[in-house]
């Protein structure tokens, strides 16, 4: 009976999401794309970048997060990451990609040109007797690569973004609730936001739809708004609605294996080159610039966090240094293709300070249980990065041009985009808060969000999956 209720609830929630999408009446017949020529070098780099970004979720994030929880929950966190690699990949192939990148005719959501991978999969041309690999439409994606390659690359972002949220509700959310939440959140929050920023929607730089926010739209090279602010702010809402872990604030809850965390953090660092440099969508000078900015921001963030601990606490920690590295990577993500390496170092220093305070003073002051600091690093770091993009962005990298403002971008070179960056941050915060709140309330009213007291005490490894991470003989 309980299983039947859960299945019915999942079906109703999924149907609701589809009805919302269908009611927009956005299905369009795609126009014939201009002819393009495959660039094999760019394609090789983008496939490599796709693999690097996938590695960020598993094993990167899986190890990073699992080392921070108690040993009775290590498999629970790993399962969330691995399961989401499977679940979100299938959703992306079926309808996620087309909602995010299915044309720029609508400001709010993509059309259905790639539904069920139609128009993306290889076909057989009977007239020529040869296979045909669809290439990206230059009007939608300025890259000479197959649609499948672009779909795969962007799909890896769709995989890791919801996995980041898991850090806020670690050790207390029901696995079934997590599954339903991620399906709905990916559909109703991530896909629209990705279209707004990267698919020619209402925030996209250079889009006709973005005139309302000024400066021709907002800059987000690799996901400051789409990935980090959306996941970080949603993580905060999850932490607040689920409440604190049993014993939080009164019982010690130290990380059970910082070795895992250190390995995971360095894997994230390496994978992030695919995340940011890959967002150039080509093996060119812009990719090199984004690669360098990413590396130096991470290094500066790690040094800054360690230095703060060393000064105020007398000892620099592995956890603090790793957290600073990740904060630096988060902050530089929206700016990576728009700033120089020296500006990236300044951004790394700034985010090291701000995220240290958000994970210590801010969290202590308001006493919310953001278990693994998903909001403190991704929400706060992503917000700072998006705003600082409006300060340091320069036309020198060649990432984009704005003819109406003589190509000027960031505040330091006299450009106008800072206002648009702030507007994009506010809009992203609003969507993440409202969308996450509504979805969680609907799930809580149907199948419930949180495990029982007994299950939480026992640990999610055994109560949710019937397994144990460690067996001592």
Q: Write the pLDDT tens digit of every residue in 240-296.
A: 999 999 999 999 999 999 999 999 999 999 999 999 999 999 999 999 999 999 999
Q: What are the b/e assignments for 439-455, b being 16+ CB within 10 Å?
A: bbebbeebbebbbeeee
Strand partners, 132: 123
- Confidence class of residue 20 from pLDDT cuts 50, 70 and 90? very low
- The per-residue pLDDT of the chain, averaged, comes to 91
- Confidence class of residue 37 from pLDDT cuts 50, 70 and 90? confident
pLDDT (0 to 100) of residue 2: 53
Q: Is the peptide bond before 59 cis (omega within 30 degrees of 0)?
A: yes
- Confidence class of residue 140 from pLDDT cuts 50, 70 and 90? confident
Report the distance separating Cα 460 and Cα 171, nearest Å.
6
End-to-end, the C-alpha distance of the chain in Å comes to 38
Report the distance separating Cα 168 and Cα 438, nearest Å.
17
Find out if CATH 3.40.640.10 is the number for domain 60-465: no
pLDDT (0 to 100) of residue 4: 45
Q: Has this prediction a pTM greater than 0.85?
A: yes
Q: Is the pLDDT of residue 7 over 80?
A: no
No. of H helices and E strands in the chain?
19, 2
C-alpha 32, offset from chain centre: 31
3-state secondary structure of 125: strand
Could you read off the pLDDT of 167-193 as tens digits, one per residue? 999 999 999 999 999 999 999 999 999
Contact (Cβ atoms closer than 8 angstroms) between residue 281 and residue 143: yes
Contact (Cβ atoms closer than 8 angstroms) between residue 331 and residue 383: no
Q: Is the pLDDT of residue 33 over 50?
A: no
Report the distance separating Cα 179 and Cα 83, nearest Å.
9
pLDDT (0 to 100) of residue 103: 86
- Confidence class of residue 403 from pLDDT cuts 50, 70 and 90? low
Which secondary structure element, helix H or strand E, spans residue 155, and what is its range? helix 147-165
Q: What are the b/e assignments for 385-401, b being 16+ CB within 10 Å?
A: bbbbbbbbbbbebebbe
The residue among 325, 306, 322 whose CA lies nearest residue 314 is 306
């Amino acid at each position: 009976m309980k299983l039947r209720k859960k299945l019915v609830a999942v079906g109703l929630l999924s149907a609701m999401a589809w009805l919302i999408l269908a009611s927009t009446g956005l299905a369009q017949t795609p126009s014939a794309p201009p002819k393009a020529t495959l660039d094999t070098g760019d394609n090789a780099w983008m496939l490599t970048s796709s693999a690097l970004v996938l590695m960020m979720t598993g094993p990167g994030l899986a190890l990073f997060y699992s080392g921070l929880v108690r040993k009775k929950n290590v498999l629970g966190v790993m399962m969330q990451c691995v399961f989401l690699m499977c679940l979100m990949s299938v959703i992306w192939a079926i309808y996620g990609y087309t909602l995010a990148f299915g044309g720029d005719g609508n400001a709010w959501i993509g059309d259905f040109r790639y539904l069920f991978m139609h128009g993306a999969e290889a076909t057989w041309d009977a007239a020529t007797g040869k296979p045909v690999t669809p290439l990206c439409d230059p009007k939608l994606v300025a890259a000479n690569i197959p649609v499948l390659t672009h779909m795969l690359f962007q799909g890896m972002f769709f995989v890791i973004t919801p996995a980041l949220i898991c850090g806020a509700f670690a050790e207390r959310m029901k696995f079934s609730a997590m599954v339903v939440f991620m399906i709905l959140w990916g559909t109703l929050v991530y896909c629209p936001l990705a279209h707004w920023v990267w698919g020619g929607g209402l925030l996209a730089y250079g889009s006709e739809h973005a005139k309302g926010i000024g400066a021709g739209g907002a800059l987000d090279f690799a996901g400051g708004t789409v990935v980090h602010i959306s996941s970080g702010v949603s993580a905060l809402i999850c932490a607040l609605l689920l409440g604190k872990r049993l014993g939080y604030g009164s019982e010690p809850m130290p990380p059970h294996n910082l070795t895992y965390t250190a390995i995971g953090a360095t894997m994230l660092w390496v994978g992030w080159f695919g995340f940011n440099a890959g967002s150039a969508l080509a093996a060119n000078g812009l990719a090199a610039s984004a690669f360098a900015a990413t590396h130096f921001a991470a290094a500066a963030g790690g040094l800054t966090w360690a230095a703060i601990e060393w000064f105020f606490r007398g000892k620099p920690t592995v956890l603090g240094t790793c957290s600073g590295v990740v904060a630096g990577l988060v902050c530089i993500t929206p700016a990576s293709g728009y700033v120089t390496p020296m500006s990236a170092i300044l951004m790394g220093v700034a985010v090291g300070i701000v995220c240290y305070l958000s994970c210590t003073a801010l969290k202590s002051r308001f006493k919310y249980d953001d278990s693994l600091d998903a909001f403190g690093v991704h929400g706060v770091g992503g917000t700072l990065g998006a705003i600082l993009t409006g300060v340091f962005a320069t036309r020198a990298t060649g990432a984009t041009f704005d003819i109406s403002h003589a190509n000027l971008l960031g505040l330091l070179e006299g450009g106008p985009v800072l206002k648009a960056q702030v507007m994009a941050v506010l809009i992203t915060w609003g969507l993440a808060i409202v969308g996450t709140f509504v979805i969680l309330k609907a799930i809580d009213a149907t199948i419930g969000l949180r495990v029982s007291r007994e299950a939480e005490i026992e640990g999610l490894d055994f109560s949710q999956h019937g397994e144990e991470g460690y067996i001592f003989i």
